[in-house]
Amino acid sequence: MNEIKRHQKDGKISDGSIDTALHIREINAIDADAINTLVIAARNGDDAAYSKLLDLYEPLILSIVKNALSFLPPGESECIEEFRQEADIKFYEAILSYNTEQNNTSFGLYAKICLKNKMISLLRSYYARRKVTGADIPGKNGSDVMTAPDPCELIAGEEEAKILLERAESVLSPLEKSIFSLYTDGKKTQEIAAELSITKKTVENAVYRIKKKLRKIL
């Protein structure tokens, strides 16, 4: 694609208070084959097909970007353009990498996970820059301190956790799979350790490895 199309007005992100899971289901209800046809056409250079996909998934993209921006302190308006541009690029990359021959994961859910993972990477880079400059990083909604979200924090919902676990099957050990499943259920480190009869340190080390592996597969 010669130019990434953007849906942004006056440098502002429109309201993203949309039920993105519902939006994905509505799109998929149109026809999965039709979406796949657009994906194939877009990756082959069809600008009209790419624009159609971008129009269909614009609410999803805007919602994910807005959610990521909510993790930044007030006054960081210069990040809006960067996050939106990166989201558009990642959406196009999702088009290029999506496997249209499988039936387990819809394009909408695949793109959603890819986009959220990209936002997490951008947030990590932002926090790293702030740390280097020595700037304070207020937490979300005015809390005292905020750290970069982990690879699961922005990925909410049972369906997405299931997809992540399926994709992680080939890279996670049996123990890591058990810990990841409990982790995505919202269990705390101590709770996971007690349930699996292992030490808290073992859980922490496993979570670190899981995050590292997930960043590579998403």
Containing H/E element for 171? none
For residue range 145-204, list pLDDT tens digits in order: 334 445 445 444 455 656 666 667 778 899 998 888 787 666 888 999 999 999 999 999
- Residue 80's pLDDT is 85
Q: Please report, as a single letter, which amino acid is at residue 54.
A: L
Contact 216, 209 (CB under 8 A): no
- Residue 105's pLDDT is 76
Do 103 and 194 share a domain, yes or no?
no
For residue range 207-217, list pLDDT tens digits in order: 888 888 877 76
Structural domain span for residue 119? 1-146
pLDDT exceeds cutoff 90 at 85: yes
Q: Please report, as a single letter, which amino acid is at residue 209.
A: R
**Given 103, 128, 146, which residue is the final one in a domain?**
146
SS3 content of the chain, % helix, strand, coil (to 5): 65, 0, 35
**Span of 44-53, 55-64, 100-109 with lowest mean pLDDT:** 100-109
Contact 179, 210 (CB under 8 A): yes
Do 16 and 45 share a domain, yes or no?
yes
Q: Into how many domains does the chain fold?
A: 2
- Residue 6's pLDDT is 45
**Span of 58-62, 104-108, 201-205 with lowest mean pLDDT:** 104-108
DSSP reduced 3-state for 12: strand
**Given 102, 118, 146, which residue is the final one in a domain?**
146
**Given 118, 146, 174, which residue is the final one in a domain?**
146
Q: Which of the two residues, 121 and 48, has the higher pLDDT score?
A: 48
Do 117 and 161 share a domain, yes or no?
no
Write down the pTM of the prediction.
0.59
pLDDT exceeds cutoff 80 at 50: yes
- Residue 148's pLDDT is 47
pLDDT band (50, 70, 90) for residue 46: very high
Do 18 and 117 share a domain, yes or no?
yes
Q: Cα–Cα–Cα angle for 18, 24, 26, nearest 5°?
A: 95
What does the mean pLDDT of the chain come to? 76
Do 156 and 125 share a domain, yes or no?
no
The enclosing domain of 163 has a CATH number of: 1.10.10
Contact 155, 161 (CB under 8 A): yes
Do 132 and 172 share a domain, yes or no?
no
Phi, psi of 33 (to 5 degrees): -65, -35
Do 155 and 109 share a domain, yes or no?
no
Do 83 and 154 share a domain, yes or no?
no
Do 65 and 89 share a domain, yes or no?
yes
pLDDT exceeds cutoff 80 at 2: no
The enclosing domain of 87 has a CATH number of: 1.10.1740.10
- Residue 36's pLDDT is 92
Do 58 and 101 share a domain, yes or no?
yes
Do 154 and 142 share a domain, yes or no?
no
